[in-house]
Amino acid sequence: MIDDSLFLPLNRDLAAGESAESPSLSYWSQVRRRFRRNRVATVGALFLIGMFLFALLVPWLSPHTYYETHLALKNSPPSKTFWFGTDNLGRDMFTRIACGARISLFVGVSAAIIDLIIGVLFGGMAALGGARIDNAMMRLADIMFAIPYLLIVIMLMVVLGSGLIPILIALTLTGWIGMARIVRGQLLQLQKLDYVQAAIALGAGPRRILFKHLLPNAMGPILVTLTLTIPLAIFTEAFLSFLGLGVQAPIASWGTMASDALPALRYYPWRLFFPACFISLTMLAFNLVGDGLRDALDPKQRVG
C-alpha cells in the first residue's frame, strides 16, 4: 500500500521566494551598472571629471596667472614653487596647462554638440524624407566627405583668421557628416519596427515620430559617436594651434604651448612633456569612455 503522507502538499514561503528575486531594473539603470563594471571606462570617466575640475578651479586658486612673467626664473624645472616648471618668459606652466584645458575642452565639447544638432537634423530629414530626398541629401554629404577634413579646416582658418569662433566654424563645417550617417542608418532600421508603423497608421506626424519614437531608441549609437567626436576636435584644435592657426598669444592653449616648447626640447623637455601628456591622456580618456558606453548600451549585454 502507498502511504498517503507521501503526497502531502509542500509548504512554500511565497514571500521568501519573491524577496529572492532580483529587483527589476530599467534600461538606463542597466546601462549605468554595466558601465560601472567596466573598470577601464570608469577610470577614464573619473579622469575626465578630474580634468574638468582641474580646468575650472586651478586658474582661480593658483597664486600665478597664465600671463604673469618671471624673467629671472624663465625655463625653471618643476619645483615646489612651479609644479610644472616655467616657460621661456617665466610663466607658470601649471596654471597655463589648466587654462589650456579650458580652451581644449570648450572647443571639443562645443564642436561635438554642434555636430550632434546638425547631424541629428540632417540624418532625420534624410531618413524620413523619402527615397528621393534621402538620396539627394546623402550624395551631398558624400561629396563634402570626399574633401579631406583637415584641408578644409586649414583653408577656413586661413580665410577666417584665428580665434575660438573661427575654429568652431571650421571644425563643424563637415564634422557633422559622421553623426548624420549614424543617425540616418539607425532611423532607417527603426522605421521598420511595428511600433513606428503603428504610430504612422494612427496619424502621427514626422516630427512626433522622429523625436518621440525614433531618436530615444537610437540614443545609444548617438551618444557613443558624440563621445568619440570630442577627442578628434581636441586634437584638431591642438594641431591648428601648433601650426599657429588656432588661438593666439597671450591665450594659453595646449597646442601653442607645445609649439613654443619644440625649439627648446633638448634643453627644457618638461615644457613639451606636460602639454603633450595632457593632450594624449585626455584623448585616451574620451576614447575609453566611448568604448565603455558602446559596450554598456549594447542591448545584447545582460546584467548578472
Q: What is the DSSP string of 182-228?
A: HHHHHHHHHTTSHHHHHHHHTT--HHHIIIIIIGGGGHHHHHHHHHH
Phi and psi, residue 260, nearest 5°: -65, -30
Phi and psi, residue 69, nearest 5°: -105, 145
Mean pLDDT over 149-176 rounds to 81
Residues 6+ apart with CB under 8 A from 108: 230, 231, 233, 234, 237, 286
pLDDT score recorded for residue 114: 92
Residue 51's pLDDT band, with cuts at 50, 70 and 90, is very high
Phi and psi, residue 263, nearest 5°: -60, -25
Residues 6+ apart with CB under 8 A from 64: 82, 91, 92, 94, 95
Specify the pTM.
Answer: 0.80
CA-based nearest residue to 94, from 102, 106, 105, 86: 86
Burial class (CB in 10 A: 0-12, 13-18, 19+), 144: middle
Q: What is the pLDDT of residues 224-243, one digit of tens each?
A: 888 888 888 888 888 888 87
Cα maximum dimension of the chain: 108
Cα–Cα distance measured from residue 219 to residue 211, given in angstroms and rounded to the nearest whole number? 11
Hey, how many other C-beta atoms are within 10 angstroms of the C-beta on 39?
9
pLDDT score recorded for residue 40: 92
pLDDT score recorded for residue 304: 45
Residue 60's pLDDT band, with cuts at 50, 70 and 90, is confident
Q: What is the pLDDT of residues 70-92, one digit of tens each?
A: 888 888 888 888 888 888 888 88
Enumerate domains of the chain plus CATH numbers: 52-296 (1.10.3720.10)
**For residue 303, is pLDDT > 50?**
no
pLDDT score recorded for residue 7: 63
